[in-house]
Amino acid sequence: MNEPAGGHGNEGNPIVITVNEQTVVLDKRTLTGAEIKSAAIAQGVVVQQNFVLQEELPNGTSRIIGDGDEVHWRAHLSFTAIAPDDNS
17-75 per-position pLDDT tens digit: 999 999 999 989 999 999 999 999 999 999 999 999 999 999 999 999 999 999 998 88
Q: What is the C-alpha separation between 86 and 71, in angstroms, rounded?
A: 24
CA distances from 10 to 30, 43, 65 (A): 9, 19, 22
Q: What pairs with residue 47 in β-bridges?
A: none
Q: What is the C-alpha separation between 30 and 27, in angstroms, rounded?
A: 9
CB 25 within 8 A of CB 10: no
The structural domains of the chain, ordered by start, are: 15-82 (3.10.20)
Q: What is the C-alpha separation between 64 and 67, in angstroms, rounded?
A: 10
The pTM assigned to this predicted structure is 0.82
Confidence of residue 4 (pLDDT cuts 50, 70, 90): very low
Query: What pLDDT, on the 0 to 100 scale, is given for residue 8?
Result: 45
